[in-house]
Amino acid sequence: MIFLRPHHLLCLQFFVGKGYDQQFTLNTATVLKKLQSGEEFTLVMGKDNLCSCCPNLIEGICNSGKSKCYDQAILDKTTLKIGQVYKIMAIKSIIADLINADKLDLCKDCQWIELCQSILKYKFLA
């Protein structure tokens, strides 16, 4: 079973093969491929399959300080629930609607925001 934090649902929409390092990038690509092939995931707060290779994860805890806020913002703006099992294709419209409505304002202080914003104008907005 794959475990994902709410904010990683956004991150995966913008993944283009870039990341903190090669291990993180390869892990993210592997998780994304599984999700796209129909594998289910459980929505969790805290460490997930993407976090497992993130350099910000220290002793099982994210030291970025932003992840919990991003996660809660996603939960507040959607009908997604922690502990629920989903398929990525079944919630793709929920995530796309959030992205179109929010324009990534909820993660504007993320270090990857410029990359995501450049992708946003081509991928989601008509």
Tens digits of per-residue pLDDT, 74-100?
999 999 999 999 999 999 999 999 988
Q: 86-108: b or e for each residue (b if 16 or more CB lie within 10 Å)?
A: bebeebeebbeebbeeeebebbe
Residues 75 and 44 sit within 8 Å (Cβ to Cβ) = no
> What is the three-class DSSP state of 110?
coil
- The pTM assigned to this predicted structure is 0.88
What the block records as the tokens of 43 is 């929505």
Residue 19 backbone phi and psi in degrees, to 5: -170, -170
Q: What does the pLDDT look like over 2-33, one tens digit per residue?
A: 999 999 999 999 999 888 889 889 999 999 99
Residues 74 and 10 sit within 8 Å (Cβ to Cβ) = yes
The number of CA neighbours under 13 Å toward the Cβ of 46 is 4
